[in-house]
Amino acid sequence: MMNKNKKRVVLPSRPDPPTVDQILEDINRTAPSDPVFSVLERSGPDVSRPSDSDVDVKFLQCRRFVDLNERLQEARGRLLRQREELKAAGEQLVRDVEKVKGQTL
């Protein structure tokens, strides 16, 4: 039988993750020759680093996407308001038709 009286080992708590300022400070203090920055250069010819023009193209695509998304959100808001206005106008029209029908009888 297994010994049920074994004590569980309590592990120490994990440290807090670094703040953005700490990360930026660490990056700024790192030398350009650090392996983190040179891993792509040493990994061989089949791995390529994106060129500045590729980065610019991706940035512009992202910017257009964000702009389009904002425009779509604004259009959605306008459509919701217009739908409510049409619903209210339709209800008023039904009331007016009932009123006219009541006058003709």
Per residue in 79-102, pLDDT tens?
Answer: 999 999 999 999 999 999 999 988
Taking the complete model, does pTM exceed 0.75, yes or no?
Answer: no
**Residue 93 to residue 99: CA distance in whole angstroms:** 10
CA atoms within 13 A on the CB side of 85: 6
**Residue 57 to residue 99: CA distance in whole angstroms:** 62
- pLDDT at residue 89 in the model: 96
